[in-house]
Structure 1
Amino acid sequence: MTSDLRLAPTALVVWVAAWCLTGTVEPGADDGGDTGRGAVLAVALLAAAVALGCLVAVRRSRRPAIGHLLLAGVCLVALCVSVHTQVAARAPLPELAGDGAVATLRGTVVSEPRPATFGAGTRWEVAVTQVWARGTGSAARGHVEVTAPGPPPRYGATVVVDVRLGPPGIGAGTVASAAATAVRTTTPPGAVLRATTILREELLEVTDGLSPQARGLVPGAAVGDTTRLPDDLDEAMRATGLTHVTAVSGSHFTIVVAALTVACVLLRVPRAARVVLLVLGAAGFVVLVRPEPSVLRAAWTCAVALLALALGRPAAGPPALAVASTVLLLVDPWMSRSFGFALSCAATAGIILLTGPVVRRLAPWCGRALAFAVAVPLAAQAACGPVLVLLDPALPATAVPANLLAAPALVPATVLGLVATLLAPWAPATAGVVAWFAGMATAWIAAVARFFAGLPGASLPWPGGVGGALLLAAATTAVLWVLLRRPPGRGWRRPPHELLAEAVRHVARGSRRLDRRPGRRVRGVLCVGLLVTGALLVGLVVPRLVPGGPGEAPDDWQVVACDVGQGDTLVVRSGARAGVVIDVGPPGDAAARCLGRLGVERIDLLVLSHFHTDHVGGLDAVLAGRSVRAAVVSPLDEPAAPAQRARRALADAGVPVVVGSPEQQGVAGTVAWRVLAPEASSASGAAGANDASVVLTLRTAGGIDVVTLGDLEQPGQERLVRLLEASGLPEEPVEVLKMAHHGSASQSAELARLLAPRVTLVPVGENDYGHPTQAALAMYTSVGSRLVRTDECGTSALAVREGGLVLTCARGG
């Protein structure tokens, strides 16, 4: 059966227009340049919509071209009005965020809290209604992601927050980010939100005594609460493409609606009443799990399907998805920049469009049931792959088999988790029993995730950025075209080894006949040429596109900032195949691969500046196959979970460990090192893990002086200034500085002037926190330092040649 794609062109045009308009139209523009460009863009997209509409109309012969023209035109006009109205309402938040201004915000909390990626505390979104800054107050509209210490406010509460504003992260879908210094709740949430909050809290209470995986996965599968998900399990689920288990989206709505439908059928509820009950159930589920972008997309798709059911018409997937995404983008155009929304729509579209064709190809080989089980995760992974590469430049090679094996446990985990949620406030003992059975289902999911994540090659490197996404999209399209272009027939029913043998025979026969068939000879030569060219492109070009590819550091490297994404790994050469390593990057093997390419087989000194995951997550991979002579770690074991894992890994590897403190010094191979901070008084829970970072000064055999600042915040940097001034250091400007905290806004201008580095290394990757900030970069540029960012330069190597520093970038430059 052919899918009805008549609404797809309009939905795609609206999405592209929303993306472009929300990126080009800014509030407070004095000239009409941005607005003019937006108008020109809208006209161009309108023309594209007409062309696409005519194409679809001609092919389908069901809708005249004028219908597509009118529909696309109305949607684009509505989108432009929505963007213009909301941009005016957002002012002056973007301008204040760009300046890093201190402000007070008033608004409503519109997301559940999540652990802060950097530092202690939580992060959550607030829908701002008023802002006070620079002595004036004004109305404003927009979502701001707030990172704050202490307990977070309740969902739906009205709060007043004192913050320092910053730019929004890539793909965040917010107007700004903010670091809070004080949070005050002025109005508690309403009765309905209080009730759903109680349900969520009681579910956490009744699951508190379960195993670690069940404590995290049962609330995650039921209501999307991942606050207690163990770090190692979270990493395993990301590596195997199982995050949809806890990211509430279409599959959860399908399960909820299906369960309600079965109950209505068993109770013989009339169709009209059945639709009402399904609508109420779906709406209640949205409030319970909170209206995140993916949840809203699934809810609107479900609403369109229910409307079709009420009208007695079959619910077609593509039109429902097109209508849902278009409506949501018209209401909130900035949702077009949300990675979560994009992944949700891509996964749904992939499942709707690709599952059927894949099932028809696989069914003759393995039966329809197994073919369907394989096709669903395969279709979702194929559609989501290009978007996922933008977030993490790697391919989850084990995602399809992991999803295939985990799928049977998702339904009982979700249904039993929801039953436990509804029972928890009224019958906690019964809810606890139900939750235990749900934990049995999630135990299988956790076991599958950990098994496949631990396999060699579970995550394969791939070029990052837009280029990598386009490359993967092209490769996926080519593979699908080859596999699906031919309708299922006798050939698909033959065993694979017979098909392979027949292909080899055809190639052999074709090569023998080349001399007798001139036309085929030409085509054969062209095919061979294309194959050779493709092989050369894959062998020569693609490795240079992959971050951290071969040939990225010269043989005489002295200092290397490894490109490990949003994390830190710095290597200082201490011998022929040895180095001093400061931090080991986020979870995964990025740091280990960097050390492998540098030829580092022995670590003379391993320094873990502090225990945030983006600095210690890659420890296991780094320790594997390498000897470590000694380690220096932060005096503050926070956050507790990654600190315990890191200390246990070092102990299991037999590494001598000492806690960093000022005046510690020594020689590691050919590198002299000395600890500058932290002081014992700053290594407290109140100061936070960032300001408990071990700060080092090192001197290489080539005479390069290096200072590493860990993730020191401004207070810690100011204490360091006092320490350095008291000890008379540095005697002259340092040559290389590793900037603190990926270039966050919390920097000390006094420290930048005191150190005045010739080169400032900024280890940073794609992130949602605006790192590095323009203020931080300008601070070091103003003292004459050359800035080297790993997100632009890739793995960055410094060497000494003819008495001067030479920089080599993996990505050129």
Structure 2
Amino acid sequence: MPVLGCAAWLGGIAAARAGDLAGPVLAGLLAAAGALAWRGRGGRASPRQRLVLASVVLGAAVLAGSLLRLEAVATSPLSAWASDRATADLVGTVVSDPRLVEGKWGDRVVVRLRVEEVTARGERRRLGGSVVVLGDPAWAGVELGEQVRAEGRLAPSDSAEVGALLMSGRPPVRIRGPDPWWRAAGAVRASIRASVAHRPPAQAGLVPALVDGDDAALPDEVEADFRTTGLTHLTAVSGTNLTLVVGALLLVARFVGVRGRWSVLVGLAGIVGFVLLARTEPSVLRAAAMGTVGLFAFGPDGRRRGLRALGVALVALVLVDPTLATSAGFALSVLATGGIVLLGPPLTEALARWLPRGLAEAVAVPTAAQLACTPVVAVLSGQVSLVAVLANLLAGPAVGPATVLGLAGGLVGLVLPVAGRLVGTGAAWCVAWIIAVAERGAALPGAAIAWGTGPLAVLLLVGLCAVVALVLPRLVRRRAWGVSIAVLLLVVVLGVPGRIWSSPSFGWPPEGWVLVACDVGQGDALVVSVGPRAAVVVDSGPDPGVVDDCLDRLGVEQVPLVVLTHFHADHVDGLAGVLRGRRVGAVEVTAVLDPPTGVEEVEDVARRAGVPVRTASYGATRRVGTAVLQVVHPDIPLPVPGAGDGSSANDASVVLVVEVDGLRLLLTGDVEPPGQAELARLLPGLDVDVLKVPHHGSRHQDEDWLASLRPEVALVSVGADNDYGHPAAQVLDHLRAAGADVHRTDEEGDIAVVAGGGGPRVVDR
């Protein structure tokens, strides 16, 4: 079964990646199956030959099923009407929870419908398929399982599995409410949220995420900490959630005297109930299947039965939904389950020679799962977490009680809300420990190390993980080796090698650095050195974890001042990462409070950290450590609301002139040509050594003004392969023609400017 499961998986990958070659690949598989069947006719095939034949047939079945699904969508009248941008009136059933998305032109609600009837171009058709609705805020009130009528304009979908998009500016018309089981599941989910609503936001957001995957209220900084410490699986629906819920249900059943086959029925009922509670999304079905495998693995002869169940789950899932084969979540679930089944038992037995068996299992299970998932996590995040095993070990004891108490709080709250809140408080106390583990673990200097995502880097990591999986059980059999490995991991996590590597004698950061442009993707995060382990941070990029890592590499522990040039997400969403584990004096912002969502985010993060937020004063010159800073734009004395949609934010960017170590830096945010013209008028003849090119090198620049600054170095903070066409080639060419040495974070990573007698020198990491 594991071999057949892998064959099905490969068939799904082929279906997604083969493109126009899918037909020939299917024909080749069918021809191979025919040849194998012919060779084995009359019962002459060996068991190995039969296994190969079954694998080829199964791979072909998955590929054929996927092609048929895609063909059905492509040839549907729905797709044709979408290509013509036809206006349509359709009837469908809601199959996903509505999700609010903030956009430049207003908020929209995204929800998926399973189509039953469509009227377009004067023709009414009963047909299947699905559409994704982009509706007005009234769509936020629809419920899963509800039948609705919708009107709007169809548009083509980027997904081959979705027949069309429906742009609907009208509220839905409710035809029929959800079925009873969906209403019951929705009531339990709402009761779970209500049972912890009185707790702090992080706790109130994490309990529903643990119980049923409802992470809508989970703060961004908690998610960032969980990513760094390898605890992300707790915030999504996983096999662990199902195992805990169904396991608790079976314990209750056993306590009241349920035995034998009735226990199996109770377990199956628990699985069905969990799927309804967490929604019948592909990720939930995947989690249910992997959780069921875990239940098999916990029984007698668990390794053999667990592997067989894993193979069955793989085959069933990929046949039902071939798109899972290329899903990162699917790969992580399968690998984690396989790691626990294969590596968990020998590692447990080895550790149990000198540890209590319960503690040995507590160490072995997260170690096995993390080791199996490490290559995929590295591909997704570009880093390898060194603290993941320790964090999972410390958080693990609280996960079970938090999950069970959270579900119990929701169920009790349906009958007696006060009692539900009391039980929910117990769940919140449990998750408070998990949040503390994530926060402390993410703050450790060696919590994660950067790792490449190229084929060679991934193959090397796969090889290393395989070697560790083979050698580790033999090593930890002896207490001395086990303790030595634990101490070595602790030393690495606490950052002793990192501190040595980060010293000036080891290359990064370079000695004498005055400015670093952190590689935060499509965004800005600039660090100005103002003293030993102290820096002013200008903008924080889009991701808290990325800017936090950059500051860790620079050894920054004190931030007297954070300047956020404007409130767009690519400049402010990483603020929590700057504040994490550092002493921060104040946050200064532009006077134009646009977009409002960015303003709220900054104020909320700063308030929770106890850091004051104030408006950057135009014309003010002050010394911060070894640097002198002056705000030269915008000249707005009091905060104003702006356009409200973010369109007025760029040209309201705070622009700073910084003098440090004999160099003059001009840090421009995303200031646009009108603001640049105003700067040219107010500061004629301004000459700088280093220019942070405005707006990631956008083509909308006053190129003559940029050249008039006569910068020796021009830094472009920009994300690789971004959708905006940044930076524009003509802008870079114009700067080079003016004598500037141009450097880009998308090509060079973190970029440091070093002061010297001959002017600025650039070092990339």
Of stretches 298-307 and 258-267 in structure 1, the one that deviates more from structure 2 is 298-307
| Residue 217 of structure 2 is aligned to residue 216 of structure 1 | no
| Residue 722 of structure 2 is aligned to residue 772 of structure 1 | yes
| Residue 424 of structure 2 is aligned to residue 435 of structure 1 | yes
Output the TM-score relative to the length of structure 2: 0.72
The answer as to whether partners of 1:673 and 1:698 remain within 8 angstroms in 2 is yes
| Residue 436 of structure 2 is aligned to residue 461 of structure 1 | no
1:795 equivalent in structure 2: 750
1:398 equivalent in structure 2: 387
Question: Which residue of the other structure, out of 61, 66, 70, is the alignment partner of 1:83?
Answer: 66
1:12 equivalent in structure 2: 6
Of stretches 265-274 and 110-119 in structure 1, the one that deviates more from structure 2 is 110-119
SS at match of 1:364: coil
CA deviations over 1:669-705 (Å, ceiling 9, x no partner): 6887643599989835943599488425567898997
The answer as to whether partners of 1:667 and 1:673 remain within 8 angstroms in 2 is no
The answer as to whether partners of 2:551 and 2:578 remain within 8 angstroms in 1 is no
Letter in 2 for 1:364: R
Instruction: Note closer, same or farther for the CA distance 1:43–1:234 as it changes in structure 2 (3 Å cut).
Output: same
The answer as to whether partners of 2:188 and 2:414 remain within 8 angstroms in 1 is yes
1:675 equivalent in structure 2: 633
CA deviations over 1:200-236 (Å, ceiling 9, x no partner): 1232223222344442232222222222334443333
Q: Displacement of 1:417 after TM fit? A: 1.8
The answer as to whether partners of 2:402 and 2:427 remain within 8 angstroms in 1 is yes
Letter in 2 for 1:76: G
Of stretches 355-364 and 111-120 in structure 1, the one that deviates more from structure 2 is 111-120
Instruction: Note closer, same or farther for the CA distance 1:587–1:601 as it changes in structure 2 (3 Å cut).
Output: closer
CA deviations over 1:472-497 (Å, ceiling 9, x no partner): 3222222222224x5x9xx9356449
CA deviations over 1:39-74 (Å, ceiling 9, x no partner): 588689x79x99xxx9xxxxxxx9712222222122
5+ long unaligned stretches in structure 2: 486-496, 708-713, 735-741
Letter in 2 for 1:87: L
Instruction: Note closer, same or farther for the CA distance 1:179–1:793 as it changes in structure 2 (3 Å cut).
Output: farther
1:410 equivalent in structure 2: 399
Of stretches 158-167 and 437-446 in structure 1, the one that deviates more from structure 2 is 158-167
SS at match of 1:643: helix
Q: In 1, distance between residues paired with 2:556 and 2:391? A: 34
| Residue 110 of structure 2 is aligned to residue 152 of structure 1 | no
Residues 230-379 of structure 1 mapped to structure 2, 5 A cutoff: 230-269=219-258, 271-301=260-290, 316-379=305-368
SS at match of 1:365: coil
2:490 equivalent in structure 1: none
The answer as to whether partners of 1:92 and 1:140 remain within 8 angstroms in 2 is no
SS at match of 1:448: helix
1:419 equivalent in structure 2: 408
Q: In 1, distance between residues paired with 2:510 and 2:173? A: 59
Letter in 1 for 2:603: Q
1:588 equivalent in structure 2: 545
Q: Displacement of 1:329 after TM fit? A: 1.8
CA deviations over 1:402-424 (Å, ceiling 9, x no partner): 32232222222222222222233
| Residue 672 of structure 2 is aligned to residue 687 of structure 1 | no
Residues 406-805 of structure 1 mapped to structure 2, 5 A cutoff: 406-464=395-453, 466-484=455-473, 486=474, 492-493=477-478, 495-496=480-481, 561-565=517-521, 567-570=523-526, 581-585=537-541, 586-588=543-545, 590=547, 593=550, 597=554, 606-610=563-567, 612=569, 615-618=572-575, 621=578, 631-633=588-590, 635-636=592-593, 638-639=597-598, 642-644=601-603, 646-648=605-607, 652=611, 657-659=614-616, 674-675=632-633, 683=641, 686-687=644-645, 691=649, 694-696=652-654, 707-709=668-670, 737-739=693-695, 751=700, 761=716, 763-764=718-719, 772-773=722-723, 776-777=724-725, 780=728, 790-791=745-746, 793-795=748-750
Letter in 1 for 2:208: P
The answer as to whether partners of 2:351 and 2:360 remain within 8 angstroms in 1 is yes
Letter in 2 for 1:569: A
Letter in 2 for 1:185: P
SS at match of 2:520: coil
Q: How many residues align?
A: 699
Q: In 1, distance between residues paired with 2:401 and 2:358? A: 19
Instruction: Note closer, same or farther for the CA distance 1:236–1:145 as it changes in structure 2 (3 Å cut).
Output: farther
The answer as to whether partners of 1:144 and 1:174 remain within 8 angstroms in 2 is no
Q: In 1, distance between residues paired with 2:655 and 2:124? A: 46
The answer as to whether partners of 2:629 and 2:657 remain within 8 angstroms in 1 is yes
The answer as to whether partners of 1:161 and 1:184 remain within 8 angstroms in 2 is no
The answer as to whether partners of 1:335 and 1:341 remain within 8 angstroms in 2 is yes
1:126 equivalent in structure 2: 112
Of stretches 99-108 and 183-192 in structure 1, the one that deviates more from structure 2 is 99-108
Q: Displacement of 1:371 after TM fit? A: 0.6
The answer as to whether partners of 1:665 and 1:673 remain within 8 angstroms in 2 is yes
Letter in 2 for 1:479: V
SS at match of 2:449: strand
Letter in 2 for 1:250: G
1:21 equivalent in structure 2: 15
Q: Displacement of 1:140 after TM fit? A: 9.0
CA deviations over 1:744-803 (Å, ceiling 9, x no partner): xxxxx8x479999898946337xxxxx722xx32894588879987455433579999x9
Q: Displacement of 1:583 after TM fit? A: 0.9
Instruction: Note closer, same or farther for the CA distance 1:178–1:763 as it changes in structure 2 (3 Å cut).
Output: farther
Question: Which residue of the other structure, out of 49, 68, 77, is the alignment partner of 2:51?
Answer: 68
SS at match of 1:606: strand
Q: Displacement of 1:345 after TM fit? A: 1.5
Instruction: Note closer, same or farther for the CA distance 1:299–1:693 as it changes in structure 2 (3 Å cut).
Output: farther
The answer as to whether partners of 1:563 and 1:794 remain within 8 angstroms in 2 is yes
Q: In 1, distance between residues paired with 2:85 and 2:731? A: 25
Q: Displacement of 1:252 after TM fit? A: 1.9
Q: In 2, distance between residues paired with 1:709 and 1:102? A: 36
Letter in 2 for 1:21: A
Letter in 1 for 2:670: L
Instruction: Note closer, same or farther for the CA distance 1:209–1:704 as it changes in structure 2 (3 Å cut).
Output: closer
SS at match of 2:414: coil
CA deviations over 1:61-100 (Å, ceiling 9, x no partner): x97122222221222221222221232344499xx9xx99
SS at match of 1:395: strand
1:185 equivalent in structure 2: 172
Letter in 2 for 1:644: E
The answer as to whether partners of 1:629 and 1:656 remain within 8 angstroms in 2 is yes
The answer as to whether partners of 1:798 and 1:808 remain within 8 angstroms in 2 is yes
1:29 equivalent in structure 2: none
The answer as to whether partners of 1:214 and 1:439 remain within 8 angstroms in 2 is yes
Instruction: Note closer, same or farther for the CA distance 1:691–1:304 as it changes in structure 2 (3 Å cut).
Output: same
Output the TM-score relative to the length of structure 1: 0.68
The answer as to whether partners of 1:104 and 1:161 remain within 8 angstroms in 2 is yes
Q: Displacement of 1:382 after TM fit? A: 0.8
SS at match of 1:18: helix
The answer as to whether partners of 1:207 and 1:432 remain within 8 angstroms in 2 is yes
The answer as to whether partners of 1:790 and 1:796 remain within 8 angstroms in 2 is yes
Q: How many percent identity over aligned positions?
A: 29
Q: Displacement of 1:269 after TM fit? A: 4.5
Q: Displacement of 1:149 after TM fit? A: 6.7
Instruction: Note closer, same or farther for the CA distance 1:313–1:401 as it changes in structure 2 (3 Å cut).
Output: closer
Q: In 2, distance between residues paired with 1:11 and 1:124? A: 34
